[in-house]
């Protein structure tokens, strides 16, 4: 099922630039990392789930790239841009070969089923 987003034609021309450029740098940084690395974990400090995802990958002997953006106490507005870009509501955001596969629990299922190795092909 396609994700609902507001069509650009339905955004008033006076605010299109503000919408398009809001925290664009953080989105571009993550997009570049996703292009450059087979596995990318995007997380935040103080959240145990990004740590869990990284631990799962380390235990599976899988090299990954980690990006951390702030903590519960700061940077939430910038992280919001990533949530809006992906549609994924929580951290971590785990990307495999350019595809968002979900968070730590989703990653764990992929590792346990053997599907992660297939995705890495």
Per-residue pLDDT, averaged over 26-55, amounts to: 98
pLDDT band at 9 (very low <50, low <70, confident <90, very high): very high
> How buried is 21 (Cβ within 10 angstroms: 0-12 exposed, 13-18 middle, 19+ buried)?
exposed
Q: How far apart are CA 46 and CA 110, in angstroms?
A: 24
Q: All domains of the chain, ordered by start, with CATH?
A: 8-120 (3.40.30.10)
Q: For 87-110, what is each residue's pLDDT tens digit?
A: 999 999 999 999 999 999 999 999
- Residue 40 CB partners (closer than 8 Å, separation 6+): 30, 33, 34, 64, 65, 66, 67, 94, 95
Q: For 57-90, what is each residue's pLDDT tens digit?
A: 999 999 999 999 999 999 999 999 999 999 999 9
pLDDT at 1: 86
Q: How far apart are CA 2 and CA 91, in angstroms?
A: 21
Ramachandran angles phi, psi of 40, nearest 5°: -130, 130
């Amino acid at each position: 099922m396609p994700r609902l987003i507001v069509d650009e034609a339905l955004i008033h021309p006076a605010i299109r630039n503000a919408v398009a450029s809001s925290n664009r740098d953080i989105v571009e940084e993550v997009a570049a990392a996703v292009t450059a690395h087979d596995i990318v974990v995007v997380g935040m400090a103080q959240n145990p789930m990004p740590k869990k995802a990284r631990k799962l990958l380390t235990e599976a002997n899988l090299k990954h790239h980690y990006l951390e953006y702030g903590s519960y106490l700061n940077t939430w507005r910038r992280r919001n841009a990533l949530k809006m870009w992906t549609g994924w509501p929580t951290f971590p955001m785990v990307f495999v070969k350019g595809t968002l596969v979900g968070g730590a629990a989703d990653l764990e299922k992929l590792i346990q089923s053997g599907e992660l190795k297939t995705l890495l092909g």
